[in-house]
Amino acid sequence: MSNQFQFFMFFLLFLASRAESADIVRLSEEGNRRLDGTITEIRATEVKILRSNSNTPTSVPAPAIATTQFGQEPPLLTAMRSAVMGSRFTDVLETAQRLDPATIANPFARQDYEFFKAFALGQIALEGPSNKENLQKAITACADFLRTQANSYHYFPICELTGELYLAAGNREDAFQVYSLLAKAPWVASQLKANIALGTIRLEENRLDDARKFYQSVLASLDSSKDTLWAKTEAEIGLAKCLIREGNWKTAIEQLEMLSTKIDSENARLQAAIYLTLGEACEAAENLKEAILAYLHVEILFPSAKPQYVAALKRLAVLWSKTNRPERAAEAERTLKSLE
């Protein structure tokens, strides 16, 4: 354990000795605003907290919550929460090993313990999906959480994480089932994420009519937020991939070129996805020169979009060889190796 982490633990113990007995709900989009009182109910969609100056509990929607904290909770649980917020996921698991959940008296606090552990395992697994043991541990922990903690306000975030883990493991059908649960969340953002994922799963299975239905449901959203506009772009990319699978490369190319002029330039991931798909369409049309140009867009302009960047390099390594540029193919291979 690092000296920095040890100091942090001692600091938390000091704070715990002076902690209030009140529960706390910290809000995610209102600065440091917090609600103090007694948490009376937790559901997948909300947390209710009875404040000292009120006779009626205040209902806080789950997406508005940054964290919950419980009066007189074990200092080690406080440490786990802080480690999650700081993305120190190995520290989360190390601390979890030293805390027996049976000693956590508050059942809502025990939910947080189970969430922190499952979330940390999931993030570690996604950072290195080739580690099959870590991946399976994370899947088991997240699936157990969904089965046993359906009334937790962490339920839908764990749905999304579990879907990502199943896809990383190549288990599309279980991923489809979990994303179907996420689609039932009462919030537009969650529904859009779920339908994009569901469409992509069906696309990979070559069930193009089903894929289109999910993508079209995203395009039908009346919400006008930036996140929704980005989700609609993902849906349009998905629809272009359907066209490519059907051999309608010309229409796919036209739509992708038009889409590249509309998407916000700040979203490197979506820009990279557009050009990666454009390269795929040009390859399918046997226009290797245009395919190379599309993939070079990703390599040169969007290296921060790592999955798309890696995919583009892999295709460039192949296409440089096909077009008698072995030195460029070797360069792409070296870059790929450096990213392993």
**Domains in the chain, please, with CATH?**
260-340 (1.25.40)
**The pLDDT of residue 63:** 95
25 with 47: CB under 8 angstroms?
Answer: yes
**pLDDT of res. 52:** 86
Both structure tokens of 176: 């489809």
| Size (the chain), residues | 340
Kindly give the confidence (pLDDT) of every residue in the chain, 340 residues in length, as a single tens digit, with 9 standing for 90 and above: 555 555 455 444 444 444 457 999 999 976 778 999 999 999 999 999 999 888 999 999 999 999 999 998 999 999 999 999 999 999 999 999 999 999 999 999 999 999 999 999 999 999 988 899 999 999 999 999 999 999 999 999 999 999 999 999 999 999 999 999 999 999 999 999 999 999 999 999 999 999 999 999 999 999 999 899 999 999 999 999 999 999 999 999 999 999 998 887 778 999 999 999 999 999 999 999 999 999 999 999 999 999 999 999 999 999 999 999 999 999 999 999 998 7
| Residue 125 · residue 165 · CB < 8 Å | yes
Which strands make up the sheet holding 46-50, listed edge to edge?
58-61, 46-50, 34-42, 23-27, 65-69
Q: List b or e across 165-187, with b for residues whose CB sees 16 or more CB atoms inside 10 angstroms.
A: bbbbbeeeebbbebbebbbebee
- Distance separating alpha carbons of residues 80 and 204, to the nearest angstrom: 37
326-339 and 306-322 helices cross at what angle (nearest 10)? 150
The confidence score (pLDDT) of residue 21 equals 78
Which of 319, 229, 331, 334 shows the shortest CA–CA distance to 283? Answer: 319
Residue 189 CB neighbours (<10 A): 14
pLDDT, residue 280, reads 97
Contact 49, 39 (CB under 8 A): yes
Q: How many CB atoms lie within 10 A of CB 157?
A: 18
